[in-house]
């Protein structure tokens, strides 16, 4: 599989899951334009997707295609993302934990996604969070070791 197809698939899957939609729900919302098996093939990187169909899927997900494309290009450029479990993060008693939690929630609201218990934090976001907490990014990862998982 090509790295581009895999990155497109991951971005589409992440966007769909962030909206808490099943493959069948997306197929139904598409009015028959997409089958659940086709969407799954795109998400696994096994099928190529045209730009037109990509844009339609983004419209169904309620997100601008350029935002999803930007995520794809960032993924191709390298650098891992972190998935942070917000329910665990909120349990941190330190003021630093509260600061990080507020910042992450603000990032989520800017992305205009559906509320979830986890968020994929881009390398740039992680650097900004680290700066806000007075740490280097690698130090912050150490602090969040119990609440994050790096995606490879």
Higher pLDDT, 112 or 133: 133
CATH number at residue 28: 1.10.260.40
- Based on the fold, state whether residues 70 and 118 are members of the same structural domain: no
Please state the domain count of the chain: 2
CATH number at residue 98: 1.10.10
What is the pLDDT, as a whole number, of residue 62? 92
Checking if the pLDDT of 152 tops 70, the result is no
DSSP string for the chain: --HHHHHHHHHHHHHHHHTT--HHHHHHHTTTSS-HHHHHHHHHT-S---HHHHHHHHHHHTS-HHHHHHHHHHHHH---EEEEEHHHHTT--SHHHHHHHHHHHHHHHHHTPPP-SEEEE-HHHHHHHHHHHTS-HHHHHHHTTTTEEEE-
Last residue of a domain, one of 77, 110, 130: 77
Checking if the pLDDT of 124 tops 80, the result is no
What is the pLDDT, as a whole number, of residue 88? 66
Checking if the pLDDT of 18 tops 90, the result is no
Query: In the sheet where 81-85 sits, what is the strand order?
Result: 118-121, 81-85, 148-151
Residue 27: which domain range? 3-77
| Token pair in block for residue 76 | 């191709």
- Based on the fold, state whether residues 41 and 88 are members of the same structural domain: no
What is the pLDDT, as a whole number, of residue 89? 66
What is the pLDDT, as a whole number, of residue 114? 62
- Based on the fold, state whether residues 108 and 42 are members of the same structural domain: no
pLDDT digits (tens, 9 = 90+) for 37-81: 999 999 999 999 999 999 999 999 999 999 899 888 877 876 556
- For the chain, give the percent of residues with pLDDT over 70: 71
- Based on the fold, state whether residues 73 and 105 are members of the same structural domain: no
pLDDT digits (tens, 9 = 90+) for 100-120: 777 777 777 776 666 666 777
- Based on the fold, state whether residues 117 and 56 are members of the same structural domain: no
Mean of all residue pLDDT scores within the chain: 80
pLDDT band (50, 70, 90) for residue 151: very low
Q: How many CB atoms lie within 10 A of CB 78?
A: 7
What is the pLDDT, as a whole number, of residue 25? 97
């Amino acid at each position: 599989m090509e790295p581009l197809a895999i990155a497109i698939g991951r971005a589409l899957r992440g966007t769909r899951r962030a909206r808490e939609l099943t493959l069948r729900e997306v197929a139904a919302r598409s009015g028959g334009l997409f089958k659940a098996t086709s969407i799954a093939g795109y998400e696994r990187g096994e099928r190529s997707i045209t730009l037109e169909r990509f844009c339609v899927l983004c419209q169904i997900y309620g997100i601008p295609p350029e935002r999803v494309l930007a995520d794809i290009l960032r993924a191709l450029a390298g650098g891992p993302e972190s998935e942070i479990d917000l329910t665990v993060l909120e349990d941190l008693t330190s003021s630093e934990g509260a600061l990080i939690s507020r910042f992450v929630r603000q990032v989520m609201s800017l992305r205009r996604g559906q509320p979830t218990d986890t968020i994929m934090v881009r390398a740039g976001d992680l650097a900004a969070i680290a700066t806000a907490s007075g740490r280097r990014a690698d130090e912050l990862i150490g602090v969040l070791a119990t609440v994050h998982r790096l995606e490879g």
